[in-house]
């Protein structure tokens, strides 16, 4: 496990981007040195820049033109039958690996005997859980963002089964989901008449404390961290623990440059400074077993 | 419709039993349950006493092991399951897949309920736990409208329990880590949201401030009631506005929906508040007992009595209540 090559993945776009922006983003992503691209709507079923079929078409096109692995990501919070219907369609795509972000998808995929992946909102906190899911067809999992390197280390130590491990290493972290749309609420609008305000906030809408500390970002029914998780300086450690994939969560601008920095660092080259791409700053507390929003200095190691 | 009441200690359990609860849920004195607060919860001896008290009066007792063990704590969760089996509780309320796997294999006769902390909001997710662990009941997260709850019930073999009253989680339970983002501890990992040891109130020249893990959650004008600084009930700045960006301090109260909940096929109503006093538990149990009986006697003519809601408001956050997600416009 120690000598494997670390792979890079691009997580699903968490935000509501326009159709043109999405196509442009994936055209650019195709040129980056990521090994895997996850795509699909994971947050809100009202976001329909691309229809379900168009996501699958895009997956097909990217797969054909780039040779990269394409994975279809699915909704994280399912409430309506229409959402389950879309989920079934995606789970039955027959071509691409599916990332389950809710136990509904785990059920649909495992009951069909189809191998699957899980995203950061499927709660896998220990090796026993992982073993159950591996038996049901789990092929790859993403460590929940609140878990530390020490927990991951212990989980992988207790595991004899084959599974690929992915860690969320860059981006604003998904922290929670709700029935309520907070972006709509911030405009005093109900969810059912949200006027698609999320389109105006391609990296989420900032929420600060009353003393102007940037704290969270509202992304519709999802709430994410205002700070950007960055584990670029931890690559050696990630490799040593036995991580297979590093996930970069897309942001509206400069994702390609961030991918480039990680790619160089994996190859042992000096990575360019990516600080300017996260204007509110970085955090890495969770990885170090600390408060999530903290930035633990790792330069002294 | 079963009335399921909380007990953080033996006096609360007795208060619940004496005031009309059909079932009582409790947890052990550690991080294996989602109300891991100092001074709260049961050791084995107390749990056995409580179970005897409830059983002697024809009531059922459930034990919650509804947090997510990490590898270094696994033994503790395993042993909690064994304790529940020894106590022969009427059901074990679990969230973690590993814990459910252990419980269903080691103690196949022990009835399993899926905790709200398992974050299952739809019947496909419930089917996973039914197929793999034979869960008999599930507690739904507070994210569904009434018609969505009904749809789940129509499509699942699992009994459905919903929250009727108490502190309102605005986020989907089991998948909210706002608390650990600020304190390092979440309900999933430590069994507590916004743990008291991270809470701080500061008197400043501009008034009282509440902080969690050092982060400012709210400022209060003179004479304004200060709330507990859970992140989701704080006042923050978004754009040009400073407001309750997530939710006002308020509690859930679905008393008015009782006939509809019953008609939807809900098997049990859960009251939140293991961290609350025996007086709270007794009062809330009494109100809900009366309300449920009255809605059963005359479902069409049922209206909540003014004094019921007054009593419930008095023990609610911000002294107000909401129908929450059950009522679509709230969302």
Do B197 and B215 lie in a common domain?
yes
Residue A245 belongs to some domain of the structure: yes
Do B305 and B283 lie in a common domain?
yes
Average pLDDT over residues B19-39: 96
pLDDT at B238: 97
Structural domain for A61, as ranges: 7-172+229-288
Residue A266 belongs to some domain of the structure: yes
Residue B319's pLDDT band, with cuts at 50, 70 and 90, is confident
Compare CB distances from A175 to B68, B121, B181 and report the shortest one's residue: B181
Residue B158 belongs to some domain of the structure: yes
Do B206 and B321 lie in a common domain?
no
Instruction: Compute, in degrees rounded to 10, the torsion defined by CA atoms A262, A267, A272, A277.
Output: -10
Residue B132 belongs to some domain of the structure: yes
Average pLDDT over residues B63-89: 98
Indicate the average pLDDT of chain A.
96
pLDDT at A300: 40
pLDDT at A1: 41
Residue B184 belongs to some domain of the structure: yes
**Are β-strands A214-219 and A205-208 bridged in parallel, bridged antiparallel, or unpaired?**
antiparallel
Tally of domains in chain B: 2
**Percent of chain A clearing pLDDT 90 (strictly above):** 96
Residues of A within 8 A of B140 (CB-CB) are: none
Do B216 and B315 lie in a common domain?
no
A72 three-class SS: strand
Do B77 and B11 lie in a common domain?
yes
Q: Which residue of B has its CA nearest to A206?
A: B238
pLDDT at A62: 98
Residue A192 belongs to some domain of the structure: no
Average pLDDT over residues B140-148: 94
> B92 vs A64, A220, B60, B292, CA distance in Å?
50, 35, 12, 25
Tell me: pLDDT of A68 over 70. yes
End of a domain among B220, B243, B266? B243
Inter-chain touch B132–A215, beta carbons under 8 Å: no
Give just the sign of the alpha carbon dihedral A252, A254, A256, A259: negative
Residue B325 belongs to some domain of the structure: yes
pLDDT at A299: 54
Inter-chain touch A207–B143, beta carbons under 8 Å: no
Residue A186 belongs to some domain of the structure: no
Residue B148's pLDDT band, with cuts at 50, 70 and 90, is very high
Indicate the average pLDDT of chain B.
96
* Interval A229-287: pLDDT, tens: 999 999 999 999 999 999 999 999 999 999 999 999 999 999 999 999 998 999 999 99
End of a domain among B224, B243, B262? B243
Compare CB distances from A179 to B175, B215, B331 and report the shortest one's residue: B331
Residue A290's pLDDT band, with cuts at 50, 70 and 90, is very high
Residue B327's pLDDT band, with cuts at 50, 70 and 90, is confident
Structural domain for B186, as ranges: 178-243
Burial label, B67 (beta-carbon count in 10 A; 0-12, 13-18, 19+): buried
Average pLDDT over residues A60-72: 97
* Interval A190-233: pLDDT, tens: 999 999 999 999 999 999 999 999 999 999 999 999 999 999 99
Give just the sign of the alpha carbon dihedral B116, B121, B125, B126: positive
Tell me: pLDDT of B317 over 90. no
Q: How many CB pairs under 8 A join A and B?
A: 215
Residue A207 belongs to some domain of the structure: no
Do B267 and B213 lie in a common domain?
no
Q: Would you state the structure tokens that stand for residue B15, as one six-digit string? A: 């208060």
Give the burial string for A164-174 (b: 16+ CB within 10 Å, else e).
bbbbbbbbbbb
Residue B288 belongs to some domain of the structure: yes
Pairwise CA distance, residues A250 & A203, whole Å: 9
pLDDT at B289: 98
Tally of domains in chain A: 1
Give just the sign of the alpha carbon dihedral B188, B193, B196, B201: positive
Distance from the first to the final alpha carbon of chain B: 26
Q: Would you state the structure tokens that stand for residue B104, as one six-digit string? A: 């269903």
Residue A280 belongs to some domain of the structure: yes
Pairwise CA distance, residues B93 & A250, whole Å: 38
Residue B197 belongs to some domain of the structure: yes
pLDDT at A301: 40
> A271 vs A5, A258, B145, CA distance in Å?
17, 9, 49
CB-based contact A10:A248 (threshold 8 Å): yes
Q: Which residue of A has its CA nearest to B245?
A: A186
CB-based contact A130:A163 (threshold 8 Å): yes
CATH of the domain at A87: 3.20.20.70
Residue A178 belongs to some domain of the structure: no
Pairwise CA distance, residues B322 & B251, whole Å: 6
Residue A182 belongs to some domain of the structure: no
Tell me: pLDDT of A178 over 90. yes
Residue B173 belongs to some domain of the structure: no
- Looking at chain B from residue 113 to 142, which residues have their Cβ under 8 Å from any Cβ of chain A? 118-122, 124-125, 127-129, 131-132, 142
Average pLDDT over residues B293-306: 93
pLDDT at A294: 98
**Percent of chain B clearing pLDDT 90 (strictly above):** 91
pLDDT at A3: 44
Inter-chain touch B125–A208, beta carbons under 8 Å: no
Do B141 and B32 lie in a common domain?
yes
> B59 vs B16, B23, B41, B91, CA distance in Å?
10, 5, 19, 12
């Amino acid at each position: 496990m120690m000598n494997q090559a670390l792979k890079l993945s691009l997580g699903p776009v968490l935000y509501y981007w326009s159709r043109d922006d999405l196509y442009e983003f994936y055209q650019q992503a195709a040129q980056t040195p990521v090994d895997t691209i996850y795509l699909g709507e994971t947050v809100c079923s009202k976001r329909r820049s691309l229809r379900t079929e168009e996501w699958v078409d895009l997956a097909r096109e990217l797969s054909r033109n780039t040779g990269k692995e394409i994975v279809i990501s699915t909704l994280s919070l399912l409430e309506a039958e229409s959402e389950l219907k879309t989920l079934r369609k995606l789970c039955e795509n027959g071509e691409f690996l599916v990332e389950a972000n809710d136990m509904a998808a785990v059920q649909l995929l495992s009951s069909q005997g189809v191998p699957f992946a899980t995203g950061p909102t499927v709660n896998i906190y220990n090796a026993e859980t992982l073993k159950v899911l591996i038996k049901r067809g789990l092929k790859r999992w993403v460590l929940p963002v609140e878990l530390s390197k020490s927990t991951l280390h212990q989980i992988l130590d207790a595991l004899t089964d084959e599974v690929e491990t992915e860690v969320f290493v860059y981006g604003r972290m998904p922290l929670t989901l709700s029935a309520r749309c907070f972006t709509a609420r911030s405009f005093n609008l109900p969810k059912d008449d949200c006027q698609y305000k999320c389109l105006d906030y391609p990296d989420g809408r900032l929420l600060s404390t009353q003393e102007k500390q940037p704290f969270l970002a509202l992304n519709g029914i999802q709430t994410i961290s205002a700070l950007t998780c960055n584990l670029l300086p931890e690559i050696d450690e990630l490799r040593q623990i036995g991580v297979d994939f590093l996930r970069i969560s897309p942001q509206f601008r400069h994702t390609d440059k961030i991918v480039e920095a990680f790619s160089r660092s994996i190859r042992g080259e000096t990575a360019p400074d990516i600080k300017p791409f996260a204007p509110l700053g970085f955090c890495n507390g969770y990885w170090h077993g600390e408060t999530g929003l903290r930035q633990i200095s790792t330069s002294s190691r | 419709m079963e009335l399921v009441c909380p007990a953080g200690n033996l006096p609360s359990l007795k208060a619940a039993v004496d005031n009309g609860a059909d079932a009582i849920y409790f947890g052990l004195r550690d991080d294996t349950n989602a109300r891991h607060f100092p001074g709260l919860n049961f050791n084995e001896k107390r749990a056995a006493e409580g179970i005897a008290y409830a059983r002697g009066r024809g009531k059922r007792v459930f034990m919650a092991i509804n947090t997510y063990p990490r590898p270094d704590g696994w033994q503790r969760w395993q042993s909690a399951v064994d304790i529940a089996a020894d106590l022969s509780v009427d059901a074990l309320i679990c969230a973690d897949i590993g814990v459910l796997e252990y419980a269903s294999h080691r103690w196949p006769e022990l009835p399993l309920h899926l905790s709200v902390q398992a974050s299952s909001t739809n019947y496909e997710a419930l089917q996973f736990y039914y197929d793999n662990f034979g869960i008999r009941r599930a507690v739904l997260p507070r994210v569904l409208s009434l018609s969505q709850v009904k749809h789940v019930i129509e499509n699942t073999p699992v009994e459905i329990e919903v929250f009727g009253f108490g502190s309102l989680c605005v986020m989907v339970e089991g998948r909210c880590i706002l608390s650990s983002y600020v304190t390092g501890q979440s309900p999933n990992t430590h069994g507590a949201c916004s743990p008291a040891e991270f809470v701080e109130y500061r008197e400043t020249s501009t008034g009282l401030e509440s902080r969690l893990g050092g982060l400012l959650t709210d400022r209060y004008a003179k004479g304004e009631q200060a709330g507990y600084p859970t992140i989701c009930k704080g006042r923050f700045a978004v754009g040009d506005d400073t407001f309750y960006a997530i939710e006002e301090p308020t509690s859930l109260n679905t008393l008015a929906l009782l006939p509809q909940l019953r008609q939807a096929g809900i098997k049990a109503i859960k009251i939140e508040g293991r961290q609350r006093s025996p007086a709270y538990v007794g009062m809330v149990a009494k109100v809900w007992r009366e309300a449920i009986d009255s809605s059963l006697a005359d479902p069409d003519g049922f209206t909540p009595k003014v004094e019921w809601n007054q009593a419930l408001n008095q023990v609610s956050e911000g002294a107000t209540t909401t129908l929450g997600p059950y009522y679509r416009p709230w969302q």
